[in-house]
Amino acid sequence: MERLLAVSEIVRTMDETLRPRAVDGMPGGLVTFPPDDKRDIVIVGDLHANTDNLKRVMHHDHLLNRIRANEAVLVLLGDAFHESRASHLDEMESSLMMLDLLFRLFVEAPAGVLYLRGNHDSFSSTYMKGGVAQGMVFRLYLKRKRGDEYVARMEDFFQLLPYFIMHPKFVAMHAGPPHGGVKREDIINIRANESVRRALVWNRINELNLPPHESLYGNSDLEMMRSSLGCPPDIPVIVGHNPMRRGIDGDGVWENLHGCHNHVILTSDQERRCPTIVFRGSGTYEVIYV
């Protein structure tokens, strides 16, 4: 409980010049980086309780030490919890292990870890995966292991998480862009914008070229989002959430699919090796497997 409260305080009190407050006084949904930020950025996609992958990321290239020294930032695109393997969907011990590991990182390097909210960062019983309401199952597991008060404070933690990153070299969110573009103020005041909130954690690329739908996005949505936010038209957009169906090669990284330019889907729960996206000095990124 002590560590959970400490991490919630770290997230809640993030520098307001980087994470502007919403009109309700709460931390807003947007995190920005100043143009002169020189730190390396290491982006990790959906881990889905694969703690081994997170450990490999932190040990690779001495990332933990570089985060502690304020030389790098770890960005997690959400959905660190809930197994994705079909035979393990209701297993929650690994999610608790991931939770404790993630919270240790926050405490050890509070200025160097950013976690965006994903659709699995919730105790909701309204969504199912393989017939398992994983949010509800995780809630019951935590209640049994750590009690009602811990569960209540975890719900507070989920509510405190940001949804969107604007960096001079990229923009990132868990899922996908809202239709018709989005204003910075709408992301900052995300708790008052249900359609924006849902898009950022649920939208998927229109890989089958289906008729336009609010839950599907394509290149025009990415272009409108960049324009409405005042971003360069070619800035990379990095998302997780939507691993492509089998038959499309990618091994956890899918670039520029289905006419979506300067767009990357990244998931990091693979068992063989863990893909990351790394931005260093230049504006281009590297895909690095650890």
In the prediction, which pLDDT does 214 show? Answer: 87
b/e burial code for range 14-40 (CB count within 10 A of at least 16 → b): beeebbbebeeeebbbbbbbeeeeebb
Three-state SS across 48-77?
CCCHHHHHHHHHHHHHHHHHHCCCEEEEEC
In the prediction, which pLDDT does 13 show? Answer: 96
**Tokens (6 digits) for 58:** 């932190």
In the prediction, which pLDDT does 244 show? Answer: 84
C-alpha to C-alpha distance for 188 and 211, rounded to whole angstroms: 30
b/e burial code for range 188-220 (CB count within 10 A of at least 16 → b): bbbbebeebbebbbbbebbbeeeeeeeebbbbe
Pairing of strands 72-76, 40-44: parallel
Confidence of residue 240 (pLDDT cuts 50, 70, 90): very high
- Between 282 and 223, name the one with better pLDDT: 223
pLDDT at 145 over 90: yes
Give the tens place of pLDDT for each residue, 223-239. Answer: 999 999 999 999 999 99
C-alpha to C-alpha distance for 275 and 290, rounded to whole angstroms: 6
Give the tens place of pLDDT for each residue, 256-272. Answer: 999 999 999 999 999 88
If you search the block for the tokens 């393989």, which residue do you land on? 130
Give the tens place of pLDDT for each residue, 11-62. Answer: 999 999 999 999 999 999 999 999 999 999 999 999 999 999 999 999 999 9
pLDDT at 200 over 90: yes
Of 9-18, 151-160, 246-255, 262-271, give the lowest mean pLDDT range.
246-255
In the prediction, which pLDDT does 238 show? Answer: 98
Tell me the backbone φ, ψ of residue 33, rounded to 5 degrees: -115, 140
Q: pTM for the whole thing? A: 0.96
CATH class of 2-13+23-289: alpha beta
In the prediction, which pLDDT does 246 show? Answer: 53
pLDDT > 70: percent of the chain: 98
pLDDT > 90: percent of the chain: 89
Cβ contacts of 281 within 8 Å, gap of 6 or more: 38
Confidence of residue 207 (pLDDT cuts 50, 70, 90): confident
Give the mean pLDDT of the chain: 95
